[in-house]
Amino acid sequence: MKKIKLIYNPHSGDKNFKRWLHECVWLFQGAGYETHVFASMEQGDIEAHIAEMPIGYYDAIAASGGDGTLNIVVNAMLANGHSMPLLVIPSGTANDFASFLKIPELPLDAAALINGPVIPCDVGMVNGRYFLNVCAAGILANVSQNVGKELKDSLGKLAYYLTALGKLANPVPLRMRITNSAGSFEEDIYLFLALNTSGTGGLSRLSSAASVNDGHFDFIIFKAMPVMDIAVVLLRLLAGEHLSDTNIIYFQDNYVKVEPLFDNDEYMNTDIDGESGPQLPITIENRHNAIKVFGELSKSN
């Protein structure tokens, strides 16, 4: 019998995955997988547990949680030489990576993907750390980290938007130098995004050309702009028409360096997959098809 390691974060999202745990184990066993379960109890225990797993012992690894939990699992897998395919069971607030791959929201339906094909997926590397979905810098980069747990639990994705709008009331322009394969430029910006999928924070239409295995990322930069222009850009963003706006810089590449030309410590931190990332300056590189994920890309992806 094959073996699968099921790792879940009992504190993710509405904390209801535990109600599906028994059914998921049954499904895995029915598919020919002996199931070993690990529940995260404290910060750092997922990394430590995966580091202790013997190479080649498991045929698959399943992770239930939000984008932050997936980030932890993927970082630990790659850091310790594990190459088995990943099964994603979304149970966080936004679940941007799972949403892009159209992985079912119902845990049992997501677990049923164990019977299907796997697809190769790119990952990003930023200053030695990996990300699956997004790396962000700027005044809105730490929105997901600043959303209070009670607000996040009660309002879900709406909590991200409310926090972001509060910051936009008094935007701070940040001067940055951006270097990509074509050269470098300097710009006053509000937000820098490196996307592996089409969205983040529940905004799923940031880049219609995004793909998880094309070997590059979609980079979107929101320039510093008059406050009155912000409302226009937000409306165009919701309609998926923002990339043609003169206040937006958009390009695709597999390498970018971002350097701060300001000295405000409050905005030196970055965000990777909804968690605190390395401080600026950062270098972002694409690791083409570094992992395999259970699922199947639709034509719309």
Q: How far apart are alpha carbons 80 and 85 in whole angstroms? A: 14
Place of tokens 């750092």: 44
pLDDT tens figures, 18-64: 999 999 999 999 999 999 999 999 999 999 999 999 999 999 999 99
- CATH architecture under which domain 2-116 falls: 3-Layer(aba) Sandwich (3.40)
Name the band, by pLDDT with cuts 50, 70 and 90, for residue 154: very low
The pLDDT value recorded for residue 162 is 46
Average pLDDT, integer, range 159-176: 69
The pLDDT value recorded for residue 232 is 86
**Cβ(242)–Cβ(233) below 8 Å:** yes
Return the CATH class of domain 131-289.
mainly beta
The pLDDT value recorded for residue 236 is 86
Q: Cβ neighbours of residue 231 under 8 Å, at least 6 residues apart?
A: none
Place of tokens 């993927």: 74
Tell whether the model's pLDDT for residue 298 goes beyond 60.
Answer: no
Whether 275 is catalytic: yes
The pLDDT value recorded for residue 158 is 42
pLDDT tens figures, 66-78: 999 999 999 999 9
Strand duo 183-195 + 174-180: pairing: antiparallel
DSSP element (H, E) containing 236: helix 227-238
- CATH 2.60.200.40 occupies which residues in the chain? 131-289
Within 13 A of 104's CA, how many CA atoms are on the CB side? 9
pLDDT cut 90: percent of the chain above it? 69
Tell whether the model's pLDDT for residue 14 goes beyond 80.
Answer: no
Q: Which of 115, 6, 122 is nearest to 53 (CA)?
A: 6
Average pLDDT, integer, range 122-135: 96
* pLDDT higher at 8 or 202: 8
Tell whether the model's pLDDT for residue 151 goes beyond 50.
Answer: no
Average pLDDT, integer, range 77-97: 94
Catalytic residue, chosen from 42, 105, 266, 275, is: 275
The pLDDT value recorded for residue 125 is 98
The pLDDT value recorded for residue 142 is 60
- CATH 3.40.50.10330 occupies which residues in the chain? 2-116
Q: How far apart are alpha carbons 175 and 189 in whole angstroms? A: 6
Tell whether the model's pLDDT for residue 222 goes beyond 70.
Answer: yes
Average pLDDT, integer, range 203-228: 90
**Cβ(74)–Cβ(26) below 8 Å:** no
